[in-house]
Amino acid sequence: MTTTTSQASAVTSPASTEIDPAWRAGIPFTRLLRAEQRKMTDTRSGFWLVLVMILGALAAAITVVATWNRMAGGSSPSWTLGSAFIPLAPMTLLPVLAILLITSEWSTRSALSTFALEPRRGRVIAAKAVVTVAATVLIWTLCQGLAALAALLGDVIHTTPPVSWTMHWSAMAGDLAQTVLLVLVAAALGLAIGNAPAAIVLYMILPVLTTTLGLIPGLHTAMGWVSLNGISLLGTGSLDADGWAHAAVSTLIWNRPRRLSAQFSLCAARSSDSGLPGRSARLRRTGPVVVATAVLVASPGHNGSPVNFFCTKDRPHGPSKTTSPWPYDPYRHLCPTPLTDAVG
Amino acid sequence: MITVTHLTKTYGSVTAVDDVSFTVGPGQVCGFLGPNGAGKSTTMRCLAGLTRPTSGSATVLGTEYSRIPNPARQVGVMLDASAQHPGRTGRETLRLAALVQGLPLDRVDEALELVGLTRAESRARVRNYSLGMRQRLGLAVALLGDPRVLLLDEPANGLDPEGISWMRRLLRDRADRGDAVLLSSHLLHEVEQVADTLVLIGGGRILTAGPVDELLDGERSLEELYLSRTETTARR
C-alpha cells in the first residue's frame, strides 16, 4: 500500500487507496458556524432557554410601557429607561446557553462525532465562540430595539415629558462589550471545567467569591486584580481603556485554548474511556487561562493595572470614583442606572 | 487502506495497545476480535484521530485521519452508538453531520432509509431510542458521506436478527465494491460469515492474524480458535 499522496498516483478507480481528489477540499469555517448555530437551539434545553429569553424580554418591555409614568418620575426620560430591565432574562441565560453549547459535547460524548467530522478541534471551539458572540450581539441589539419600542409606546400612552432620543454611543458600546465579555468568561469556564452545573455555579458565585476574599486585608489587592470588576466598569462608559482590555481578553480566552484544544488529542483519556480528554487534563490546561483572563479583565478597574499603564491620561473617570464595594454585580439589571456618559 | 504500524498507546502505567501492526486492503472486511479491554477500541480511536498514539502510527488511506480534509467523506466512523446528544432528534443528528460534510439534505433521508429508521422514528429524540435504534443511527452517520473505509466498533450490538443479517449484507456489498471495513465484534458467528481476514488481539498484543480460511483450516470453528488463543490473556 502506497503512502504517497501525489496527484499523479491519486487515481479515481474504486479500488484506489488514496484520498479521492474530488474531496480534497476541507470544511469551510462557515459550515462549522452553521452547525454550531443549529446545535445552540436544536435541543430541548436550548429551545427553552431561548424561548424564556424572548418571553422574559417581552414581559419586561410590557412592564416598562405600563409603568413608564412612574419610571420617568416627572422628568424628561431617556429612551434607554427600559434598557436595564429588558435584557435581564436574556443576559442571565445567555451565559448558561454558552456553557451548555460547550459542555454538552463532553457530557453527552457527542464530541466523538463532532471531532470525527472535524478533527481540527480548535476550529470547532472557535466556531462555538463565534456563534456565542454573534448570538449575544444579536440578542443585545434586539433588547435595545425593544427598549426603544417601549419608550415609543410609553411616550404615546402616558403624558410624560417628551422622550430624549440622544444616543449614548460610548456607553452603549461599553454595555455591549461588558455583555459579550461576561458570556465569553462563562464559555471559557465551561471549556475549562467541562461540567455544566459546576461551570454555571462557578460563573454565578465568582463575583461573590472574589468580593468575600477581597475583604481579607492581605488579599484585598490581589482580589482587585482577579475579580471581574473591570467588566462591570465597561458598562459605565469608560471605554478607552477597555478597548485594549477587550482585545487582550478575547485573545487570551480564545487563542490560548485554541492551541491547547489542538493538543487535547495528545493527552490521554485517562479518566474516561471515551477517547476525549479527562476533566483533570482540561482543567490543568485551561484553568490558568481562565485565571489570567479574569486578571486582565479586572485590570481596567485597578490603578496599577497594565491597562492603566497604557491609557491613564484621558480616562474620564478614575477607578476611585467608580469602584463600588460590590465589584461585579450579575444582577446589575435589577438596579437600573440609565445609560449616560456621566457616571460618578 | 487501513494501516496500523507498531502502534503503542499507554495511559500512564497502563499499556492499552502494545506494538500492534496490521493492514486492511481494498475489498476486505477485517474482523477485529479480542476480549474486553484487549485494546480494540483504543486502536480504533487512534485510527479515527480521537487519540494520538504513544508511538507507531495508525493511518487511513495512507495518511493520518486528522490530516484528511473533510474526513467523514472518506472514512465512516462508528465507535460508540450511545455517544449522541439525547436531546437531539435522530434526523437532526444526521442533518448536522450532513451540514458539516457539505452534503445535500436528501442524503439524510437516504441514510435513514438505508439503516431502516422510519420517518417517525427519526423525528423522536435519541433519548427515547433503543440500543438497536441508536446503532442504526450511528451507522447512518457513518454511512452518510458514502465513505470508502469503514471503522465500526461493535456495530451489531443490540441489533435484531434482521438488522444483523442486513448489516452482514451491507458490509459484504461495501467490500465487493472495493471498500475496506474494520469490524470489531464479539458476535463470532457473524464475523466468521462476513470477514475475509481476522485480527485477534488480547492484552494489547496481536495473538493471531491472517485470512479467515487459513486460520480456520479444517474443522476448527472461529469460537474454538478464539477461545484457545485468548486463553492466556483472558480476564480472571
DSSP string over A12-53 = -STT--SPPGGG-----HHHHHHHHHHHHHSSHHHHHHHHHH
Q: Which cell goes with A78? A: 431617556
What was the pLDDT predicted at A282? 52
A15/B contact by beta carbon, under 8 A: yes
Round to whole Å and give the CA distance between A261 and A283: 12
Q: How many CA atoms lie within 13 A of A123 on its CB side?
A: 20
Regarding pTM above 0.80, the answer is no
Mean pLDDT for the stretch of residues B179-200: 93
Mean pLDDT for the stretch of residues A292-308: 43
CA nearest neighbour of B131 among B155, B103, B159, B111: B159
Round to whole Å and give the CA distance between A185 and B188: 51
Average pLDDT taken over every residue of chain A: 68
Residue A191: pLDDT band with limits 50, 70, 90 = confident
What was the pLDDT predicted at B201? 94
Q: How far is CA A90 from the centre of its chain?
A: 12
Residue B65: pLDDT band with limits 50, 70, 90 = very high
Q: Which residues of A touch B101 (CB under 8 A)?
A: 27, 117
Mean pLDDT for the stretch of residues A98-104: 93
Contact A160, A68 (CB under 8 A): yes
Cα distances from B167 to residues B114, B190, B197, B221, B222, in angstroms, run 10, 10, 17, 22, 19
Residue A52: pLDDT band with limits 50, 70, 90 = very high
Cα distances from A238 to residues A85, A300, A307, in angstroms, run 21, 9, 12
User: Are A109 and B80 in contact (CB < 8 Å)?
Assistant: yes
Round to whole Å and give the CA distance between B126 and A18: 35
Q: B177 versus B230: which is more confidently predicted?
A: B177
A265/B contact by beta carbon, under 8 A: yes
| DSSP 8-state secondary structure symbol assigned to residue A164 | B
Mean pLDDT for the stretch of residues A64-86: 83
Q: In chain A, whose CA is at the least distance from the CA of B47?
A: A116
What phi and psi, each to the nearest 5 degrees, are found at residue A109?
Answer: 60, 15
Hey, which residues does B206 pair with through a beta bridge? B201
What was the pLDDT predicted at B167? 92
What was the pLDDT predicted at A178? 81
Round to whole Å and give the CA distance between A160 and A78: 11
Q: Which residues of A touch B89 (CB under 8 A)?
A: 42
Instruction: Flag the least confident range among A196-205, A218-227, A321-330, B60-69.
Output: A321-330
What was the pLDDT predicted at B55? 95
Measure CB to CB from residue B11 to each of A5, A119, A270 and give the nearest one.
A270
Round to whole Å and give the CA distance between A17 and A5: 10
Q: Which of A126-140, A196-210, A328-342 has the highest mean pLDDT?
A: A126-140
B197 pLDDT higher than 70: yes
Residues whose CB is less than 8 angstroms from the CB of residue A183 and which lie 6 or more positions away in sequence, other chains included: A94, A95, A98, A132, A133, A136
Mean pLDDT for the stretch of residues B171-175: 94
What was the pLDDT predicted at B58? 95
Contact B83, A104 (CB under 8 A): no
> Residue B114: enclosing H or E segment and its boundaries?
helix B106-115
User: Are A273 and B41 in contact (CB < 8 Å)?
Assistant: yes
Residues A208-252: pLDDT tens digits?
777 777 777 777 665 555 555 555 544 444 434 444 444 444 445
Residues B111-133: pLDDT tens digits?
999 999 999 999 999 999 999 99
What was the pLDDT predicted at B157? 86
Mean pLDDT for the stretch of residues B94-101: 96
